[in-house]
Structure 1
Amino acid sequence: MERMYRQYAVPLLSFCLKHTGGDRQWAEDVVQETLLRAWRNTGLQDGEGKSLMPWLATVARRIVIDDRRARSARPQEVNPEPLEFVPADDQWEPLLRSMVVADALQSLSPAHREVLVETVLRDRSVNQAAEALGIPVGTVKSRVYYAVRALKIALEERGVER
């Protein structure tokens, strides 16, 4: 067995590296399994002028094929822990957020709510909102500032993060 290893291990490893796509660890495993099968096959002997390399190469090639089939037959194993934190496309999330925001808006004073409706929801400038509400521009600016702060607190109370 020692003589067989010295004579065939290096060329067999080279052969296996080509068949495993350069995966050295896999190739070494195939060489080991091939030589183990040769050792178990007691009738196998290196006769005069007769090389065992063709037999060893055939066995190694079949081991690689079997390994490939086994890998493709079962799914790759993964640790499920990271998958718990992968965001999924959730159709309900936007709806729930809008419901929470609507509820938080209802908790604001009417003056704060109407100024946010004009500036944020209707996408009006401060000047346009002041004109629509019939109040001074400075009052709109002040109300928007305090309304946004109050809305932020209301959303935090409802568990909504930024």
Structure 2
Amino acid sequence: MTPMLTRDQLADALGMTGQGDRAAFRQVYLATSAKLLGVCLRILADRQIAEDVLQETYLTVWKKAGTFDASRASPITWLVTIARNRAIDRLRASANFRRSTPVDDANEVVDGALLPSETVERDDDARRLHGCLDQLDDKVGGVIRTAFMEGATYDSLATRENVPLGTMKSWIRRGLLRLRACLEQ
């Protein structure tokens, strides 16, 4: 199960990684590796090369985590920038890139990355969502997270919590209503 870290928790984990804390580095990796692999794959379009670049990215993170400054960038933006730069460097180093991509075509390439304003808005939305989830009863908040963020079925949740399926559906329905009310404030 991938841990969900808030922006502040991720920033703290990066700070501790900069001090050589392996457990914090593991938290950073578990919380961000899927996203960073996606960044590498989008640029490189080859899973094996993307995985190699991802490894290089985390070596860089381990070495440079002490330079991360939360006042200059969000932790995920800092990490994505490292992954993106590593992937672009690898792409530029490949002979196929030099042969197949004329410079004049660069005007036609669409950058699929979010705008900085969209990233800030998405991070704010995620922070609000997690804040509202934290206000729910622990059990209800936990099953909502598991159902909607990990894809668990209501039936599997009911079995895991040892409650009837109807009870599980009621918990989630009432929890979602409270969640919506919180988010609309």
Shorter-chain TM-score: what band?
0.3 to 0.5
Q: TM-score, normalised by structure 2?
A: 0.35
Decide which structure has greater helix share.
Answer: 2
Is the radius of gyration larger for structure 1 or structure 2? 1
Q: TM-score, normalised by structure 1?
A: 0.40
